[in-house]
Amino acid sequence: MTGAEFLVDYLVKLGVTDVFGIPGGVVLDFLYELDRRKDDISVHLSFHEQCAGFAASGYAQLSGRLCVAYATKGPGITNLLTPVADAYSDGSPVLIVTAHSEKKLDKNLRFTGEQELDTVDIFKSVTKYAVRIDSPEVFPFEIKKACDIAVEGRKGPVLIDVLSGIFSEKVSDNGMYSNTDMITSSKSADYIIDRLKISRRPVFLIGDGIHQSCSENLMRELAEKADIPVLSSRCAGDIMPASEMYYGYIGSHGIRYANFILSKADLIIALGNRLAFPTDSESFRPIYENAEIIRIEADESEADRHIPNCKHFIENASDTLDELLRHSICYIEPQKWLDVCKRLKNSLFETDINLPTGILSEVFRTIGSDVIIVNDVGNNEFWSSRAYIYAGISNRALYSKCFGALGCSLGKSIGVYYKSRHPVFCVTGDQGLQLNSQELQFIGMNRLPIAILLLNNHSSGMIRSRERQRYGRFVHTTSDSGYGTPDFKKLAAAYGIEYKEYIPGVFEKIDVPILVEVGIDETVDMEPNLPRGNMCQELVPALDKTLFEVLDIL
């Protein structure tokens, strides 16, 4: 078989169902083979390579399964750099396929030939594996190796840059790739059980690693069996939202009662959470000083990041949870600790509900439980996170987490739809939508059931807030300092997408593309937030002083 036939056949065998990209001369043989196998695998034409990458990343982030994006050489592949970095940050297994024409790459020249780049060098810092393939003899082996690496351990993107002629040359399968460096268990369960026996206020602190290890049910079962409160990172709020043991997400823009609970814990068991607090922060240093920390992490490289007062185990969260569930778990006076957590939650649940959060909460309560929420980057994502908790829903919700890729939501929504075949609810802002508005063509042309809620504050709101705090004036973030927005009603019409201004009930049925705009005053800030130097529970706007003092001494 040819190289293109081998690659497509192997992807089909792995269960890959969708591929996203834009054609270019060096990848046409791959594209035409995909088209020949269209009964087995679907190839989708994006309108910018960046969104092809985001679509593949959204598909992979939702499912944990391999997805594929492709691009031609030169600017085609460099346009994929941002979504690849996003997938790397979020642990999404994406295979990037590109090709080159020149067999020999001369690194002493800026360009060996037209559009010829050292693609591997460009991408190797944001992929788990990146390889240039110039020989048909190694092609099958490298394909298998790259695909295996993408989904093993902590998942992530991989890249193959293929000499274009290999796609049409004969190749021979030369055996399976076998990884001999798999992470072995460090047996954390016994240590956790022993430390719990002397703990009065333990918490589980979970992150997206629970999703990546498919451990949501195990986590919920363990927390409820052991009566241990669960906190999460902001972007992991959908792991066990319906559980009575879940007490919200923490952080500098966290849920107030979650930050209070964290400040009172004496044992923090972190599962699939990077613990990315700045260790020298006056806000979070007391957490490290006052609580013992046990950290379970699948990524060996994360062990190099020093965390004070922390015992670190290299394990998959699913292995740890499975082992803990085999044992009896207890700690000192659990009812007293749960009473404190419940009082904090009950006292503070209604705080920090501003206009956009209230609207989003109202919307979230009306959409079906099968609708998947995809968030962009900016103030809108923080309002959405808070509204998700306040609305009490359990829908799956996706974010660009630590990378924060503005403009990612349209592309990710497309990939999420093709993986789930469920309606998608896309939350975005006026700036994020403008970055990749061309994908409205994809959504409108294919009549995808994607509802876009546009929170339009006619500004670059998050940066505007920072400018106000630091400089007292604005540059390129407001309508009178250089920022601008189009007429989104006309934009939607140009792409054949229904447009409405927000009214309650507008999203009760999501079966066609729709863009709904909500006007937000540009002065509405991202709240609550944690000023530099405040204790982690001292968010602003500040609580009534008497109430804060009562809750702080619980």
512 and 373 belong to one structural domain:
yes
When pLDDT is averaged across residues 81-105 and rounded to a whole number, the result is: 94
C-alpha distances in Å from residue 485, one per residue of 87, 382, 386, 461, 482: 29, 21, 26, 13, 10
pTM: 0.94
pLDDT of 180 strictly over 80: no
Residue 419 domain-assigned (yes or no): yes
Q: Is 317:210 a contact under the CB 8 Å cutoff? A: yes
pLDDT, one tens digit per residue, over 519-546 is: 999 999 888 999 989 999 999 999 999 9
pLDDT band at 177 (very low <50, low <70, confident <90, very high): low
Domain boundary among 348, 378, 393: 348
More confident residue, 184 or 160: 160
**Alpha-carbon gap, residue 150 to 158, rounded angstroms:** 6
pLDDT, one tens digit per residue, over 461-500 is: 999 998 998 999 999 999 999 999 999 999 999 999 999 9
Structure tokens at 333: 């006076």
Residue 321 domain-assigned (yes or no): yes
**Alpha-carbon gap, residue 96 to 242, rounded angstroms:** 36
pLDDT, one tens digit per residue, over 98-149 is: 999 988 777 776 766 677 889 999 999 999 999 999 999 999 999 999 999 9
**Alpha-carbon gap, residue 367 to 500, rounded angstroms:** 17
When pLDDT is averaged across residues 208-235 and rounded to a whole number, the result is: 96
What is the reported pLDDT for 81? 98
CATH number at residue 253: 3.40.50.1220
Q: Write the DSSP assignment of 270-283 as a string of letters.
A: EES------TT-TT
When pLDDT is averaged across residues 414-443 and rounded to a whole number, the result is: 97
Residue 71 domain-assigned (yes or no): yes
What is the reported pLDDT for 179? 53
**Alpha-carbon gap, residue 93 to 384, rounded angstroms:** 26
Burial of 507 (0-12, 13-18, 19+ CB in 10 A): buried
56 and 116 belong to one structural domain:
yes
317 and 366 belong to one structural domain:
no
388 and 429 belong to one structural domain:
yes
Q: Is 492:466 a contact under the CB 8 Å cutoff? A: no
More confident residue, 32 or 102: 32
pLDDT over 70, % of the chain: 97
Mean per-residue pLDDT over the chain, rounded:
94
What is the reported pLDDT for 178? 57
Residue 313 domain-assigned (yes or no): yes
What is the reported pLDDT for 186? 55
What is the reported pLDDT for 107? 73
Residue 548 domain-assigned (yes or no): no
Q: What are phi and psi of 70, to 5 degrees?
A: -130, 160
192 and 61 belong to one structural domain:
no
Residue 414 domain-assigned (yes or no): yes
pLDDT, one tens digit per residue, over 325-347 is: 999 999 999 999 999 999 999 99
344 and 359 belong to one structural domain:
no
What is the reported pLDDT for 284? 87
Residue 543 domain-assigned (yes or no): no
Q: Is 338:229 a contact under the CB 8 Å cutoff? A: yes
Number of domains in the chain: 3
Place of tokens 């009566």: 227
What is the reported pLDDT for 280? 79
When pLDDT is averaged across residues 512-518 and rounded to a whole number, the result is: 98
158 and 47 belong to one structural domain:
yes
23 and 86 belong to one structural domain:
yes
Residue 180 domain-assigned (yes or no): no
Q: Is 221:197 a contact under the CB 8 Å cutoff? A: no
Residue 241: cis peptide before it, omega within 30 degrees of 0: no
Over the Cα atoms of the chain, what is R_g? 24
392 and 482 belong to one structural domain:
yes
Domain that holds residue 278: 188-348
pLDDT of 174 strictly over 90: no
CATH number at residue 387: 3.40.50.970
pLDDT band at 501 (very low <50, low <70, confident <90, very high): very high
What is the reported pLDDT for 184? 43
Count other C-beta atoms under 10 Å from residue 357's C-beta.
Answer: 22
pLDDT band at 182 (very low <50, low <70, confident <90, very high): very low
When pLDDT is averaged across residues 212-217 and rounded to a whole number, the result is: 94
194 and 305 belong to one structural domain:
yes
Domain boundary among 298, 313, 348: 348
pLDDT over 90, % of the chain: 86
What is the reported pLDDT for 181? 43
401 and 286 belong to one structural domain:
no
Q: Is 156:87 a contact under the CB 8 Å cutoff? A: yes
343 and 365 belong to one structural domain:
no
